[in-house]
Structure 1
Amino acid sequence: MTRIRFAPTRRSLVAGAAAVPLVTILKWPAGAAEFELKYATGQDPTHPVNIRAQEALNRIREATAGRVEIKLFPANQLGSDTDLLTQVRNGSVDFFNLSSLILATFVPLSGITSLGFAFKNYEQVWAAMDGELGAHIREQIAKTPIFTVSRIWDNGFRHITSSTREIKGPADLNGFKLRVPPAPALTSLFKALDAAPSPINFNELYSSLQTKVVEGQENPLAIIATTRLYEVQKTCSLTGHVWDGYWVLGNKRAFARLPGDLQAVITRELDRSALDQRADIASLSDSLKSDLQGKGIAFVDVQQDAFRRALAGTSFYAGWKQKYGAQAWDLLEKVSGKLG
């Protein structure tokens, strides 16, 4: 099915439309979008990634005078994350925001940003992702049928929740049945810490916790809140074990069919919403903790250095350095400092 629809008439373009005021752009006939596209996400409609994405799509429609209409499909409406990755690769979905962790199943290097305890704070994260490491990862993604449409969005630092034991230190993870996304970096991390990680797709997470298939899971606070995981979990340990981001991925062939000025508008507006969404996640951190406490979640403070020491005593970092290669590892350690 073809979703990019070319109007049979009036195909003239307004040169430089992305850079001129909206009032100077010729109006496209009402209800006659020249290009109709799909943008899928896995997150709840109330999550900042969807709120800010919809704002970007509204601005794109306005800035292109209705020529580009992008419809948002949140909450895995069009399939699981792994299904949607296939769809954006084959072009049945045009844009898809995907965790760098899950993208690593297709582009292995993308998982380097979520290496266990690599980043200590957001200053390090954005220095890496808006700098040389991020550019290197983009190059690797672009060697496939997909590419990154905008700056990376924020999924936050991930924390461990549990319905059984409290996770206070590395020893508490021994044998702990933990849901992880289908992401090699996280599976490897928790195996190194002697946990029992189970890769499960996000759309099956709640039911897996509810039916005790797993004891716990790990996600940023925004995900824990918007997907109501507090209903099936008791404690949240503030491990901050990895940072995760969302790449907005586009199908190359579909994007190439758009005139250059429309491509520029899409990237510009998604970049703007990426920065807005990053600010949302940062401001939500404190308020989400209070909200989740009010819904029954007990927070457990941990000493991250204890986890780092336990991890450094394994072959975890050496193994991933060999996998990612010296160039990528050097770019990471420029920001994170020496690992292992």
Structure 2
Amino acid sequence: MVEITRRAALAAAAGLALPWVAAPAHAQTTRIRFAHPHPESDSWHRAALLFAKTLKERSDGAIQVQVFPNGALGSDPTIISAARGGTLDIALTGNPYFTGLAPKLNVLDLPFQFRDRKHVTAVLDGPMGDKLKPELEPAGLVVLGFWDIGFRNLTNSRRPVKAAADIEGLKIRTTPNPAHIKAFQLLGANPTPLAFTELFTALETRTVDGQENPTTLILNARFFEVQKHLSLTRHAYTAGILAMSKQRMDALPEKHRELIRAVAAEVTPKQRQMNEDAEPGSIAKLKEEGMQVVADPDRESMAKIVVEPVRAEYVQQFGPELPDAIQATGA
């Protein structure tokens, strides 16, 4: 979706070939390119369009956002790299892809850590979120907000997963996040990190047996076409990081920087609510599409194996302060 000025729209209506006409010189038009890997049907894209629409309205057309969904500008690592280098303005992808740049962020991905969405909100929108956001600034990124991917659930093409023992031997696509990889290793699986943009093909060709993502994304990415079994393990929560190129942000007029931050803060809870509202219906739809769903697997058998060892590995590197603070939040 390309936002254009009213002048450009009138010119185009008159038959002129003006794919993107600049606003008058005095208007100081700011053009922002925003990329993410999720499908257009996903809440990320709908919220990104809302972000673009709101910015245009609040700036009287001076800030125009072009949104590129579905990995159109590259994989998760590619768009992060582009934002760091200043060739892309905003990158939105999962927290696990940022942990190589800011390893402390891995704390958000520890298994069975978040109790529910209320706990997630209290952590991400509270002092903990404020403490974590600056972690990416040395890498050239400004965090505008923590968007929602959701609680991760396991799918595969081989068998139902009712307990920890059923995971053993499965080749599972994971993110490159150390917590995700370690957890599946402990469960006896073969974790295989892949970019989200590569995942459907890997499942279709049986390069991997399964994957783990929230039900909303499983539905929107149409994984039901290549996966038979879904287990509602809710074994980890994943935030999405809305990150802007620091180089680009610093170059903007102060009033534009303030407006971008304000609109991001306004859209972030709306995006999370989109996912929360869609989750029950997504499970029902996946059943309609033929997926066999284990609604209440033995999560305790999984947590018993993974929680303490994965947390201990994090604590050994960074200390207990951050995971302890997360557990204490809202308790």
TM value normalised by structure 1: 0.86
2:209 is aligned to 215
Distance 2:42 2:311 in 1: 33
| Pairing of 1:231-242 with structure 2 (within 5 A) | 231-242=225-236
Superposed CA offset, 1:215-273 (max 9, x none): 11001111111111000001110000110111110111111111111112111212221
How far apart, in 2, do the equivalents of 1:193 and 1:147 lie? 35
Give the structure 1 partner of residue 326 of structure 2: 332
User: 1:6 maps to which residue?
Assistant: none
Q: Does the CA-based 8 Å contact 2:101-2:139 persist in structure 1?
A: no
Which moves more between the two structures, 123-132 or 283-292? Answer: 123-132
| 2:192 matches 1:198 | yes
Q: State whether structure 2 residue 119 is matched by structure 1 residue 124.
A: yes
Question: Counterparts of 1:116 and 1:311 in 2: how far apart (Å)?
Answer: 7
Paired residue secondary structure (1:84): helix
Q: Within 5 Å, give how 1:308-327 maps onto structure 2.
A: 308-312=303-307, 315-327=309-321
- Asked if structure 1 preserves the Cα contact closer than 8 Å seen for 2:122 and 2:330, the reply is no
Q: Does the CA-based 8 Å contact 1:107-1:140 persist in structure 2?
A: yes
- Residue 336 of structure 1 deviates from its aligned partner by 8.2
Tell me the distance in 1 between the aligned counterparts of 2:27 and 2:202: 44
Deviations 1:71-95 (A, max 9, x none): 1011111110011111111111010
**Shift of residue 33, structure 1, vs aligned partner:** 6.1
- Distance in structure 1 (CA, Å) of the matches to 2:183 and 2:214: 17
Answering whether residue 52 of structure 2 is matched by residue 45 of structure 1, we say no
Partner of 1:187: 181
* Paired residues of 1:105 and 1:184 also in contact (CA < 8 A): no
2:169 paired with 1:175? yes
**Closer, same or farther in 2 for the Cα pair 1:205/1:33, shift >3 Å?**
farther
Shift of 1:32: 6.9
Letter in 2 for 1:305: E
Aligned residue among 260, 269, 278 for 1:275: 269
Using the TM superposition, name which of 63-72 and 212-221 deviates more. Answer: 63-72
**2:60 alignment partner AA:** A
Q: For 1:119-161, what per-residue CA distance to the aligned partner results, in whole angstroms no more than 9, with x for missing partners? A: 1211211111111221221121223211102x31111100000
Once residues 26 and 115 of structure 2 are traced to their aligned partners in structure 1, the CA distance between those partners, rounded to angstroms, is 49
- 8 Å contact from structure 1 (residues 118, 336) kept in 2: no
Answer whether contact 1:33 1:69 (CA < 8 A) is retained.
no
Give the match for residue 143 of structure 1: 138
Provide the aligned length of Structure 1 versus Structure 2: 308
Q: CA deviation at 1:316?
A: 2.4
Partner of 1:98: helix, strand, or coil?
A: strand
In structure 2, C-alpha distance between the alignment counterparts of 1:134 and 1:173, rounded to whole Å: 32
For 1:127 and 1:190, how far apart are their aligned partners in 2?
Answer: 27
Matched AA of 2:75: S
Measured in 2, the distance between the counterparts of 1:196 and 1:336 equals: 35
SS in 1 for 2:82: helix
Instruction: Report how far residue 332 of structure 1 moved.
Output: 2.1
How far apart are residue 113 of structure 1 and its match?
Answer: 0.8
CA drift of 1:30 comes to: 10
Contact 1:98 1:248 survives alignment (8 Å): yes
Note the residue ranges of structure 1 that are not aligned, 5 or more in a row. Answer: 1-27
Contact 1:159/1:241, CA 8 A, preserved across alignment? yes
Which amino acid in structure 2 is aligned with residue 177 of structure 1?
A: K
What is the CA–CA distance in structure 2 between the aligned matches of 1:31 and 1:194, rounded to whole Å? Answer: 62
Give the 5 Å matches for 1:22-171. Answer: 29=24, 34-149=29-144, 151-171=145-165
Quick one: which amino acid aligns to residue 72 of structure 1? V
Normalised by the length of structure 2, the TM-score is 0.89
SS of the residue 1:299 aligns to = strand
Partner of 1:19: none
Q: Please provide the CA RMSD for this pair.
A: 1.8
Are 2:170 and 2:189, in contact at CA under 8 Å, matched by a contact in 1?
Answer: yes
Q: Aligned partners of 1:66, 1:98: CA distance in 2, in Å? A: 27
Matches of 2:197 and 2:41, distance apart in 1: 16
Gaps of 5+ in 2: 1-22
- Specify the SS of the correspondent of 1:279: helix
Identity level (%)? 27
> For the Cα contact (< 8 Å) 1:132–1:331, is it kept in 2?
no
| 1:175 CA displacement | 1.4
